[in-house]
Amino acid sequence: MQLRHGWASFELLREGSPPYRATVSDSTDVFRVLVEGARLVLDTGARQEFSFDNEPGEIRWTLEPHGDSLSLRVAMHPEWGRGPGEERWTAEEIDPRVFASDVLSSTAELISSLGVEGFHRSWPSYPYPVAEVEALKEILGTS
C-alpha cells in the first residue's frame, strides 16, 4: 500500500491473474479499516465488509472466512451504497494469517518510510492506527 497526498493506493496479487490496483480518497480511514478488518477476521472468524471512497462511487471489500481459508471480493459501486456493484477482483482459499500479515507488513512499511509526522502530514484526517496495529500484532504473535 502507498500513500500519496491523502490518497492511498493498493495492489492485490493472485497467482495466474493480473494484479488489481486501485486508489482511494482520504475520506475513508483506509489504514485503520484494513488493519481492523484483518484483525476481526482472525479474532472472530466472522465475515467483514468495508468500503473505500473512490470519488465517484465506492470500492467495497468483502472478507468471507471459510474454515481455515478466506475469500476476498472487491466490487466497484458507481454510486455509494447502491446495488450489488461490479466485481473487480476475487480470490479464494487465502490463508487469513497470511492476509493479515500482509496488511500489517504494508502498514509497517508505510510508517517506516514516512514516520509518524510524515503520515500525519500526508493523511491529516486520520491518525495512524496504533491501537489497531498493536491488536493485530498481538493476534499474530509478532512484535
The 10s digit of each residue's pLDDT in 20-64 is: 888 887 777 888 999 999 999 999 999 999 888 777 778 999 999
For residue 1, the model assigns a pLDDT of 45
Read off the pLDDT of each residue in 87-115 and give the average, rounded to a whole number: 91
Strands (DSSP E) found in 25-106: 48-53, 58-66, 69-77, 86-94
For residue 4, the model assigns a pLDDT of 43
Of 6-10, 38-42, 116-120, the poorest mean pLDDT is in 6-10
Q: Which long-range contacts (CB under 8 A, 24 or more apart) does 7-11 make?
A: 8/52, 8/123, 10/106
For residue 139, the model assigns a pLDDT of 95
- What does pTM read for this prediction? 0.87
122 vs 4: CA distance, rounded Å: 7
26 vs 124: CA distance, rounded Å: 9
Contact (CB, 8 A) for 3 and 27: no
Q: Which long-range contacts (CB under 8 A, 24 or more apart) does 31-34 make?
A: 31/1, 31/107, 31/110, 31/123, 31/126, 31/128, 31/129, 32/126, 32/129, 32/132, 34/1, 34/103, 34/107
pLDDT bracket for residue 136 (50, 70, 90): very high
Contact (CB, 8 A) for 72 and 3: no
For residue 125, the model assigns a pLDDT of 83
- pLDDT tens, residue by residue, 54-94: 777 789 999 999 999 999 999 998 877 677 789 999 999 99
Specify the residue for cell string 491488536: 135
**Residues in Cβ contact with 28 at an 8 Å cutoff, skipping those fewer than 6 apart:** 51, 52, 53
